[in-house]
Amino acid sequence: MPRTSTRLTFAVLATGAGVFAMLQSLIAPALPTVQHALHTSQSTATWVMTAYLLSASVFTPILGRVGDLAGKKRTLVAVLVTVLVGCLVAALAPTIGVLIVARVVQGVGGALFPLSFGIIRDEFAPSEVSGSISDLSAVIAAGGGVGMVAAGPIVSALDYRWLFWIPVAVVAATVLIALRYVPESPNRAEGRVSWLGAGLLSAWLVALLLPLSQAVQWGWGSARVLGLFAAAVLLFALWLRSEARSRTPLIDLRVMRLPAVWTTNTAALLFGAGMYAIWSFLPGFVQTPSSAGYGFGASVTASGLLMLPMLLAMFLSGVLAGRLEPRVGAKALLTAGAALGALACGVLTLWHDEQWQIGVVAALFGLGIGLAYAAMANLVVGSVPPEQTGAATGMNANIRTIGGSIGAALTSVLVTGRLQPSGLPYASGYTHGWALLAVLMLAASGAALLVPARRAGRTPRAAATSSPTTSSPTGATPTDAAPAPARVR
C-alpha cells in the first residue's frame, strides 16, 4: 500500500477512535449544566455516564468479533454512522430520557478501538505496525484528556449541546473519507457470531457494572446491589460454559488463556482501576472550595486546565512508546507506565496543597497512561492470530473499563463515606483514596512483570492461515501463535 494511503487510513482511524475517547469524558464536567438545563435530578443525570459505560462495555467485544468475521472496514463504517446518529440525537435531545438513549447509541463506538487495531495489523507493513498501534493508543489516551480540558470552555462559550454538535461534524467527515480510502482487511475469521455468547456476555457485564456505578446511591448492602452481583457471578459462569462448548465462540477462551494475554489483561484491570478513578475524582478535588480545608475552588474550565499536563504527557509518551518498544519491549513499557502511575498517586497522597503539585501529578500520571496504553495494545495484538485481533483487543479494552468501574466505586466509598456538615468530603477521604490508587497501580506494575518475555527478532508463526480453534488442543502459544508484526518482549 502506498505510504500516503497508509497515512490517510491512520488519520481516519485516529479521528474515529479519538472522538469516541473524547466522548467518554467530555460530558462528565458538564453534568451539573445538563441536570439544570433538562430539569432533572442528579441521580438521573448520572445515567448519562452510566448508560454510555454499559453500552460500550457490551458492544466493544461483540462488534470486535463481528469485524473479524464480516470485515473490519464494513463494521468500522457502520459503527461510525451509529456514533454520528447518537451524537445528532444527543445534540437535539429535548429530555433527559432521550439524551440517555442517545448515549446508549454512542456507546456502540467502543468497537472503534478493536476494529482500528485490527485494520492496522492487517493493512500496514510489519515494520509500521508497532509504531502505528502506539500512536493510535496515544490518540485514544489523549482523547479522554481532551474531553476533560475542552468541556469547560465549550460549555462556557457556547452550550452543552455543542459537546455533541462538534463530534457530529467530525464523525460525518470521517465516515465519508473511510468509505473511500480505508481498505477492507483480507483476514477473516471463520464461523459466525455466537449470539448466545453475546447475550450472556452482555448480561453479566450489565449485572456487574450497573451496581458498581450505582452502589453509592443504592447502598452497598441493598438488595438490588447484592442481587445484581450474585446474578453477575452466575451469568459469568454460564457464559464461560457456553463459550467453552461453542464451535464458534464469541471470545475464544484459549486465546484469553495465553500467558501474554491473561497477564496483560490483569495489568489492564488494575491499571484501569487507577486511571478512571483519577479521571473521576481529581477534577472534583480541585473544584472543592478551600473552605473545606483542601481544594482550590477551581471552575470547570480551570480544573480542566490543571489536567492539561496530563493530556500533553500522555500523548507525547504514547508516541514515544512506539519508538522505544522495538528496543526495550512492550513488557518494560507497561511495567514502567504502571509504576509511573503508582508514583503519581503516591505523590498526590503526600502533597496536594498547591496547584503546581497537582500539575506535576497530572504530568506523571499522563506519562504512565501513554506508555501503558501503547504497551497493552501491542502485547495483545502481537500475541493472538490476526483473525482474533478484534475480539481480543476489544476484551482488553473491556477489562480496563471493568477495572475503572471497580476503582471508581472503591474510591467513592473512601471519599464519600464520611462527609463534613457542609456535605463535602473530608480531606482524609481523598488521601485514603489516593493511597488506594497507588497500591492498585503498583499491583498493575507487578502484573506487568508476569508478562512472558520474548526474545527480540523472534517471529511467532503458525496461525497465519488457521485460528486457534482449529490449530491445536490448547490454541496458540507464545511460540506458535500468530504472525506478530510487533516485536513483543
The 10 Å Cβ neighbour count of residue 327 is: 10
Q: Give the CA diameter of the chain.
A: 65
Contact residues for 39 (Cβ-Cβ < 8 A; gap 6+): none
Cα–Cα distances in angstroms (integers) from residue 226 to residues 108, 129, 207, in the given order: 28, 44, 10
Contact residues for 382 (Cβ-Cβ < 8 A; gap 6+): 130, 260, 330, 484, 485, 486, 487, 488
pLDDT confidence of residue 171: 94
Under 8 Å between Cβ of 385 and 391: no
d(CA 451, CA 259): 7
Angle of helix 427-449 versus helix 355-381 axis, rounded to 10: 30
Domain boundaries, the chain: 3-193+248-471, 194-247
d(CA 114, CA 128): 17
Full pLDDT tens readout for the chain, 489 residues? 444 478 888 999 999 988 888 888 788 778 888 888 998 887 788 788 888 888 888 888 888 888 888 888 999 999 999 999 999 999 999 999 999 999 999 999 988 988 998 899 888 888 888 888 888 888 888 887 888 788 888 888 888 899 999 999 999 999 999 988 888 877 776 777 778 888 998 899 889 888 887 887 888 889 999 999 999 999 999 999 998 888 878 788 888 888 999 999 999 999 999 988 888 888 889 989 988 889 899 888 888 888 889 989 988 998 888 888 888 989 999 999 999 999 999 999 999 999 999 999 999 999 999 999 889 988 988 888 877 887 788 888 889 888 888 888 888 888 887 888 888 889 999 999 999 999 999 999 999 999 987 644 443 333 333 333 333 333 333 333 333 333 333
Report yes or no on whether pTM surpasses 0.75.
yes
pLDDT confidence of residue 454: 60
Q: Give which of 110, 117, 141, 128 is closest to 2, Cα–Cα.
A: 128
d(CA 39, CA 31): 12
For 297, the grid coordinates are 475552588
Task: Report the topology of domain 3-193+248-471.
Answer: Growth Hormone; Chain: A; (1.20.1250)
d(CA 34, CA 38): 6
**Within 13 A of 464's CA, how many CA atoms are on the CB side?**
7
The 10 Å Cβ neighbour count of residue 405 is: 25
For 273-327, where are the E strands, in sequence order?
Answer: none
